[in-house]
Amino acid sequence: MEAKTFVVPNISCGHCVHTIENEVSDINGVKTVKADQETKQVTVQWDAPASWEDIKKLLVEIDYPPAN
């Protein structure tokens, strides 16, 4: 299993957290998604067929691009 914690500067409210967690968890292979409104950090754990590129692409599409 792979995991990554990253900052999403666009997180500003609970709705942002909810959107990120719901959308990213729909990717086939994603096991957990945890977003934090206070720190603007998101942690994702996944297995194949999901990849960091898939996750990053979706975050850009839904207007929550990762900072790193």
Please report whether residue 66 resides in a domain: no
Domain region containing 48: 2-61
In a domain, 56, yes or no: yes
**Does residue 67 sit within a domain?**
no
Inside any domain, residue 68: no
pTM of the model: 0.95
Nearest-angstrom CA–CA distance, 65 and 4: 14
Question: Quick check: 34 and 59 in contact, CB under 8 A?
Answer: no
Q: How far is CA 37 from the centre of its chain?
A: 12
29 falls within a domain: yes
Please count the structural domains in the chain. Answer: 1
> Looking at the domain assignment, is residue 24 inside a domain?
yes
Whole-angstrom Cα distance, residue 30 to residue 55? 9
Q: Is residue 50 part of a domain?
A: yes
CATH number where 11 lies = 3.30.70.100
Tell me the per-residue pLDDT of 6-60, one tens digit each, with 9 for 90 and over.
Answer: 999 999 999 999 999 999 999 999 999 999 999 999 999 999 999 999 999 999 9
Phi, psi of 26 (to 5 degrees): -75, -15
